[in-house]
Amino acid sequence: MTASAAGGSPATATYDRIGIGYRRGRQPDPRLAALIRDALAGARTVVNVGAGAGSYEPMDAEVTAVDPSQVMLDQHPGSRKVLAGSEELPFEDGAFDAAMAVMTVHHWPDLHRGLSELRRVARRQVVFTWDPTHLRELWLLEEYLPEIRRLEHARFTPLSEVVEALDAHTVLTFAIPHDFTDGFQIAYWRRPERYLAPAVRRASSTFAQLPPSVVEPAIERLRADLESGAWQRRHADLFGQDAVDYGYRLLVAGEPQHGTDRAAVPASGAPDTPGATAPVSSS
Ligand SMILES: C[S@@+](CC[C@H](N)C(=O)[O-])C[C@H]1O[C@@H](n2cnc3c(N)ncnc32)[C@H](O)[C@@H]1O
């Protein structure tokens, strides 16, 4: 493994703390994997920035994993691993066909610098993130943990700003399926009992950053509402939905895919079907 000077940002410290056992709670979701694979199609060399344990990396490319957390890199199964932060990628200009960054840009201490590094080292950029300006919110924030809203809005940047900084030409909606397998905070919108499990909460950096004195009383209220049936009565409508658009987006910038059928990236779809994608406005 190549080691370079990795930044000691708060996010790095978080992942050095919560990253142990990350792979157990964060199983890549096959529908999101397909979307990312299509966006990376044709790339033979890929740098995965904020790679973590390597979720969503293409099988048919030579992948270099970059992460400032040693705990995360230790769980990465690949052979090309570099300890570094997005703010200074230790690669030459244009070193890769594509750069990918999945659920990581909100951790970067300097988002604009990190995105410009992605553009410098690769000819195509694929970024998966969440838009804090999206209106539909998870019930967990509205009814139990408004503290999450403050935390998420402080660390995620409005999508329009990310689109502009990246000069993204494509923005795809990823509606979260009801049985989404990757345990980030939104995953259990239709399986509320899962939030009661400490192991599930430990897999999410959002929960990890809130003190137990905030999280535990809220979880106890959720437990009581589930036992009394109050939650089920309030959210009966959710059981009729297979996927919900909560503001997750895949951005593609730079060179288009080569040597593949571009239509492999769905150009349209109903947002309320599992994993459905559709072009959306970036504004
Ligand atoms: C939610 S995990 C996502 C990991 C992986 N991309 C995935 O989809 O499973 C966020 C990752 O961002 C990494 N990270 C934190 N600060 C970073 C920085 N400044 N530059 C690059 N990655 C960073 C963390 O160490 C962690 O591995």
Mind listing the pLDDT tens digit of every residue in the chain (283 residues)? 444 445 466 666 666 655 655 666 678 999 999 999 999 999 999 999 999 999 999 999 999 999 999 999 999 999 999 999 999 999 999 999 999 999 999 999 999 999 999 999 999 999 999 999 999 999 999 999 999 999 999 999 999 999 999 999 999 999 999 999 998 889 999 999 999 999 999 888 888 889 999 999 999 999 999 999 999 999 999 999 999 999 999 999 999 875 444 433 333 333 333 444 444 443 3
Q: What is the pTM of this model?
A: 0.87
| CB distance 245 to ligand 1 below 6 Å | no
Residue 145: CB atoms within 10 A of its CB come to: 24
CB of 15 sitting under 6 A from ligand 1:
yes
Q: Could you give all domains of the chain from N- to C-terminal order, each with its CATH number?
A: 2-131+156-185+245-264 (3.40.50.150)
- Give the three-state DSSP class for 12: helix
CA of 52 to the centre of ligand 1 (A): 5
Q: 103: Cβ below 6 Å to ligand 1?
A: yes
Which tokens belong to 191?
Answer: 């399986």
Whether 165 and 112 have beta carbons less than 8 Å apart is answered as yes
Among 9, 32, 63, 67, the mutation site with the greatest number of ligand 1 atoms within 8 A of its Cβ is 67
Give yes or no for residue 275 CB within 6 A of ligand 1. no
| 101 Cα to the center of ligand 1, angstroms | 8
Whether 55 is in the pocket of ligand 1, judged by its Cβ within 6 Å, is yes
Answer whether 7 contacts ligand 1 (Cβ < 6 A): yes
The SS3 assignment for 128 reads strand
Q: What angle do CA 194, 182, 90 make, to 5 degrees?
A: 140
Residue 178 and residue 191: Cα distance in Å, rounded?
8
Name which of 109, 102, 154, 147 is nearest 8 in CA terms: 109
Q: Ligand 1 center to residue 21 CA distance, Å?
A: 15
- The residue to mutate among 12, 40, 91, 104, having the most atoms of ligand 1 within 8 angstroms of its beta carbon, is 104
In sequence order, the β-bridge partners of residue 102 are 128
Task: Report CA-CA distances (Å) from 275 to 1, 202, 247, 256.
Answer: 35, 25, 13, 22
Query: Which residues face 101 on adjacent strands?
Result: 127
Q: What H or E segment, with its residue span, contains residue 22?
A: helix 22-25
Establish whether residue 28 lines the binding site of ligand 1, counting it when its CB lies within 6 angstroms of any ligand atom.
Answer: no
> Do residues 249 and 171 touch, judged by C-beta distance below 8 A?
yes
- C-alpha torsion sign, points 23, 24, 25, 27: positive
pLDDT tens-place string over residues 77-110: 999 999 999 999 999 999 999 999 999 999 999 9
DSSP 8-state class, residue 5: -
The CB of 86 under 6 Å from ligand 1? The reply is: yes
pLDDT at 26: 74
- What pLDDT does residue 262 have? 40
Q: Whose CA is nearest to atom 22 of ligand 1?
A: 50
d(CA 62, CA 67): 17
Structure tokens, 25? 């709670």
